Amino acid sequence: MTAARQSTGARTALPSLPSVYRARASVELKEFFRQRESVVFTILLPVLLLVVFGAVLDYELRGGVAFTQYFIAGIIAAGILGASLQNMAISIATERSDGTLKSLAGTPMPRSAFFVGKVVQVLAVTALIIVVLLLVAVVFYGVDLPSGSDWLTFLWVTVLGSASCTLLGIALSSLAKNGRSASATVTPFALVLQFISGVFFQFSQIPEWMQTFAAIFPLKWMAQGLRSVFLPDALAAEEPAGSWELGRVALVLGIWCVVGLVLCVRTFSWQDRGSR
């Protein structure tokens, strides 16, 4: 009898938390790469923008620096924004609308596993975007890669920027009334940020009031931190403060991580507003 009970208990034992996290991360990655629209919009669009703007805006900045050397920093920042903020806001709003989140909340799966899976998806997609963009930039436009300690700066700017935008994207998913309106709610906001944050143009050429507005959000600081990696120090004088302000970049992105987390805790819901 005892042996039978032990056997039954072994069969019904729940999987370990790490295995649940791994399984959920695997599901998120498979679901993302099976959606062709998401893959094209999130991964291929930044590459297309790099190719188009790199070909059209073929001129040099001060000191003989090619515009593509400047542009690669901004387009990587925009790629991070797309993989995190846009991707999270739209996908979570859609899953909330079609009942996926409500179903997941009713399973024995720890709710934390859902967010771990999303974070792993963002990190994997972000890494893929960066690799593809750097490959295209180096092979076709002769962009110089970072060297030495610049790679460390590249890493922490990417991680902090991705974290802040992911949390903000999760929070923004609650603004959409349903899954159908999510893209219309989030995409214009992201596009405006890209145009005023020094992604497509030199930040110094943007009107001052737009610079001030852009400085509120993470994208401007991500792009600025990445410019410090790809551009010579002489071009720091072109920045509004006359320097790369890496300390402030870290501070602002860190603050947005905290703000984003607070907004997520206060606004996240597992079902649509209309069904509550």
Q: pLDDT per position in the chain (276 positions), as tens?
A: 455 455 444 555 668 888 999 999 999 999 999 988 888 888 899 999 999 988 888 788 877 889 999 999 999 999 999 999 999 999 999 999 888 998 988 888 898 999 999 999 999 999 999 999 999 999 999 999 999 999 999 999 999 999 999 999 999 998 877 777 888 889 899 999 999 998 988 898 899 999 999 999 999 999 999 999 999 998 999 898 899 999 999 999 999 999 999 999 999 988 876 555
Q: Is 59 helix (H, G, I), strand (E, B) or coil?
A: coil
User: Is residue 167 domain-resident?
Assistant: yes
Rounded CA separation 21/124 (Å): 15
Predicted confidence at residue 271, as pLDDT, reads 82
User: Is residue 11 domain-resident?
Assistant: no
User: Is residue 8 domain-resident?
Assistant: no
User: Is residue 1 domain-resident?
Assistant: no
User: Is residue 57 domain-resident?
Assistant: yes
Task: Provide the domain limits for residue 102.
Answer: 16-275
| pTM recorded for the entire structure | 0.91
* Residue 48: other Cβ atoms inside 10 A: 11
User: Is residue 93 domain-resident?
Assistant: yes
User: Is residue 2 domain-resident?
Assistant: no
The CA-atom distances, in angstroms, between 151 and each of 102, 133, 154, 228 are: 41, 16, 5, 11
Number of domains making up the chain: 1
**Contact between residue 190 and residue 150 where contact means Cβ atoms under 8 Å apart:** no
Which residue, among 250, 259, 191, 257, has the nearest Cα to 224 in the 3D structure? 250
